[in-house]
Structure 1
């Protein structure tokens, strides 16, 4: 018998480097180590093992969007979370009020909606929490439908962090515009300011990509004009739209070198602007506190 075994005998197959119980005659074309079919991935040349694929992802520079976010084809995360939070807040107000259409009577709604005189007296959480309250089911459904459609496009282009920043600053921009330019005899609520901010962001992104923006312009125009014939806050919508659009423009126009620094500076500038608006209006209301209180008492929700 030949020293290497019987004539015609096959040599023992090597085993997968990641699974010692799986014999295989396949090899990675990059590192030449044996690997089972489960551990191999198609490549431009041959097949690469899991370790080589992971190493390639770490070393290869990934494509980035206009604002510097990594290109991702995965599911969006922040948009559905925001929708869930708005729906949850609405459900709580419906449970408290016992009515899906008159939920503004609930204690949560009263405590979190934007009421200028109470906000100026120190209840500053209202400028943020009001963005999660809605006057009835139709108000909620309209805002969430637009958020679902527009939010996905903007989040994929801007990434989770930048998208979140634009959303919440647009929300605060809507509150600031209504608070600063509006009257004290009002109760404001809704995600409309933030949603308009996302439409402003999408307008800038598509314009930069040289895509057709006519649909966005028409939708925004119709919504703003309709505000003149409804109780919706035109100031809140405009404030969110302007902040969302300008902030996105600053992020898009930021030079590639030191991009993050420029974008952080734009965010800080927006925060300072909104903070000054809130402070100036609060000081004005405080100066005329007695008159303001008398006016607000006659129109404050029961």
Structure 2
């Protein structure tokens, strides 16, 4: 017999009772992360980390230090190099460059920023609008680099998309009539940092502007999904048209 709160229980009865009890399953690490940070944010971080691993393995297979992933063939084929977009027709670089990072520190800083700001924006916008703003911001950064950057300089990183998310947060805070001083201070600090060597100011500003425009469109259209989708498509088309219409960066053309 087994002692109970009142009297004793038969072991067979205890086993029979436990058999009908539904055990609580603990969520896996990925499931817990998706609930805490949001499914899109978690997926974006996972994709960026996976791409970094692929470039590191590619570098190692070529006899390079894996941490020098920018020396890999994968990095060379998918980073944003303006002249390859305009002259070789490699348009995919406008987006793929946003998922590449130059070294582990670059990756870690961007992913930390994404985990800090992404979940709140994902919760406010919903998953597809959030993802759309992220991708449009990444494209906006690439367009700015295409129009005004150095033709042969490789550029990579999620920074443009993250700046776009900061712009999106600003629009959402204005719509909710929240105090912007903290966000504006953070943006000012990051813009100053963008003037440091090997940091793409153009990409950051392009992503910020694209994020502002995309989120303003979403907030203005509110629950009119068709208008929101159409507006995002038009915004994307305008940016891509600008890239295709200008055969060389404007600085090369003397403009």
**TM-score where L is the length of structure 2:** 0.78
Cα distance in 1, alignment partners of residues 194 and 200 from structure 2: 7
Match of residue 158, structure 1, among 125, 129, 143: 125
Shift of the 284–110 alpha-carbon distance from structure 1 to 2, 3 Å rule, reads closer
RMSD over equivalenced CA pairs, Å: 2.3
1:149 aligns with 2:116: yes
Residue 136 of structure 2 corresponds to 169
1:191 aligns with 2:158: yes
Residue 59 of structure 2 corresponds to 97
**What secondary structure does 1:89 align onto?**
helix
Q: CA deviation at 1:229?
A: 2.0
User: What per-residue deviation string (whole Å, max 9, x for no partner) do you get for residues 147-169 of structure 1?
Assistant: 11111011011111111111111
Cα distance in 1, alignment partners of residues 152 and 189 from structure 2: 26
**What secondary structure does 2:135 align onto?**
helix
1:249 aligns with 2:216: yes
1:81 aligns with 2:46: no
Cα distance in 2, alignment partners of residues 216 and 210 from structure 1: 13
Residue 16 of structure 2 corresponds to none
Shift of the 124–272 alpha-carbon distance from structure 1 to 2, 3 Å rule, reads same
Residue 185 of structure 2 corresponds to 218
Gaps of 5+ in 2: 1-21, 23-34
Is the contact made by 1:100 and 1:136 (CA closer than 8 Å) also made in structure 2?
Answer: no
Q: CA deviation at 1:185?
A: 2.8
Cα distance in 2, alignment partners of residues 94 and 220 from structure 1: 31
Residue 244 of structure 2 corresponds to 279
Residue 136 of structure 1 corresponds to 103
Q: CA deviation at 1:135?
A: 0.8
- Equivalent pairs counted in the alignment come to 215
Gaps of 5+ in 1: 1-37, 39-73, 292-302
Residue 119 of structure 1 corresponds to 85
Match of residue 197, structure 2, among 221, 224, 230: 230
User: What per-residue deviation string (whole Å, max 9, x for no partner) do you get for residues 259-280 of structure 1?
Assistant: 2232123212211211111112
**What secondary structure does 1:278 align onto?**
helix
**TM-score where L is the length of structure 1:** 0.67
Q: CA deviation at 1:255?
A: 5.5
